[in-house]
Amino acid sequence: DTEVTQTPKHLVMGMTNKKSLKCEQHMGHRAMYWYKQKAKKPPELMFVYSYEKLSINESVPSRFSPECPNSSLLNLHLHALQPEDSALYLCASSQRRGGGDTQYFGPGTRLTVL
Amino acid sequence: DQQVKQNSPSLSVQEGRISILNCDYTNSMFDYFLWYKKYPAEGPTFLISISSIKDKNEDGRFTVFLNKSAKHLSLHIVPSQPGDSAVYFCAASASNFGNEKLTFGTGTRLTIIP
């Protein structure tokens, strides 16, 4: 089973709203990732959590705040977003093992900021 | 600086024939390579991977070839089926950096013609 689940599937929010995206995996993976993907572009890495600790922040604006409550869950808290933040937000997980590490992606949350 | 390049934005292939998707990279530190398939508004689906210690990996209809000296990899799909129509991304990572960071190519849209 290589399933990563994400909720909600779609989200529309105003620039003053606070919302959260959720991601869950039960594969025992120890690394979890947030990506942002705009239309006709490849996914762009935002954050990496490795063994529940933030290991990579790709200079993401502070209006995006990640949280990893435990090894199976990953949240992305959103506040005061801009219309240009509208995109598909993807979560992924991997075993975090030596050598090749395959990332498995969830279905994504389509975010629209009005 | 685009470290992973897919120079063909689109490719059309007759059903039943072979599809060949190409990918070039510039960073010699990359040692693990993956191919993902993506439908619109969905997360990327992992297809196949290859470590730099190999030059070929096969899984059913999918074969990935790696030419390290040319810094080139290719994905062969045979026979091609209508359900293979999607955008294909190649991605690369470096074990020196824990394989945490995937660098994606810009994608190739494959269309299988019935």
pLDDT of the residue at A98? 64
Name the minimum distance, in Å, from the CA of A36 to any CA of chain B: 11
So what's the pLDDT on residue B40?
Answer: 86
Residue A13 has pLDDT above 90, yes or no: yes
Terminal CA-CA length for chain B: 38
* pLDDT for the residue numbered B72: 98
Secondary structure (H, E, C), A16-76: CCEEEEEEEECCCCCEEEEEEECCCCCCEEEEEEECCEEEEECCCCCCEEEEEEECCEEEE
pLDDT of residue B97: 65
CB distance B101–A102 less than 8 Å? no
Over residues B13-29, the mean pLDDT reads 97
Residue A1, pLDDT > 70, answer: no
pLDDT at A33: 96
Instruction: Pick B2 or A3 by higher pLDDT.
Output: A3
Which among A50, A96, A100 is the nearest to B32, CB-wise?
A100
B93 contacts A104? CB cut-off 8 A: no
Flag whether residue B10 sits within 8 Å of chain A, measured between CB atoms.
Answer: no
Average pLDDT, chain B: 94
Answer whether residue A36 shows pLDDT above 70: yes
User: Which residue, B35, B54, B74, B55, is CA-closest to A102?
Assistant: B35
Spell out which residues of chain B touch residue A5, defining contact as CB-CB under 8 Å.
none
Please determine, for residue A40, whether its predicted confidence score (pLDDT) is greater than 90.
no
Which residues of chain A approach chain B closer than 8 Å at the C-beta? 2, 4, 6, 31, 33, 40-43, 45, 48, 50, 55-56, 88, 90, 92, 94, 96, 98-108, 110
Rounded to 5 degrees, φ, ψ at B84 are -80, -10
The band of B45, judged by pLDDT with boundaries at 50, 70 and 90, is: very high
